[in-house]
Amino acid sequence: MNQPRFSLQKYPKIAARILLILLFFLLFFSVVKEGWRYWKVSQRLTQKKLELRVAETENQELQAKFKEAQGPEFVFKQARELFGLEIPAGQSASISPGATYGDLRVKEEVPKYIQWWNLFVY
């Protein structure tokens, strides 16, 4: 009778050891893979938290600028710096539509179709 040279039935301890070694390597690589994935996710989370902090500080700065721009002091400051306008002492400032101040003219809003009509007709 022709017997195989190596049989797992003859060597049960060797088969058990081989199986345990394979399971150990499978478990080891699985743990390493999950650890690597966890590290990558934590790095990405840290990066996103940093981006969030930057966006929040930028948002606070923009809100402060927006609140500043809503006040009348901002309008007077822009008028002084950009156009050289100043309010005489004891008077209040108001700009009415169509009023002229030097070569600054505040225009009323003209609809686009009228602007196109004026461009091609006149």
pLDDT higher than threshold 90 for residue 9: no
Distance CA(116)–CA(122), nearest Å, equals 10
Check residue 99 and report its DSSP letter. -
Range 14-27 average pLDDT = 92
Structure tokens at 49: 């938290």
Given a contact cutoff of 8 angstroms between Cβ atoms, the answer to whether 84 and 76 are in contact is no
Name the band, by pLDDT with cuts 50, 70 and 90, for residue 97.
low
Given a contact cutoff of 8 angstroms between Cβ atoms, the answer to whether 79 and 85 are in contact is yes
Can you give the pLDDT at residue 119?
Answer: 84
Can you give the pLDDT at residue 115?
Answer: 85
Q: What is the distance of C-alpha 99 from the center of its chain? A: 42
Phi, psi of 100 (to 5 degrees): -110, 140
Using one digit for the tens of pLDDT, what is the confidence trace for 23-70? Answer: 999 999 999 999 999 999 999 999 999 999 999 999 999 999 998 888
Using one digit for the tens of pLDDT, what is the confidence trace for 98-121? Answer: 555 554 555 567 888 888 888 888
Range 87-94 average pLDDT = 62
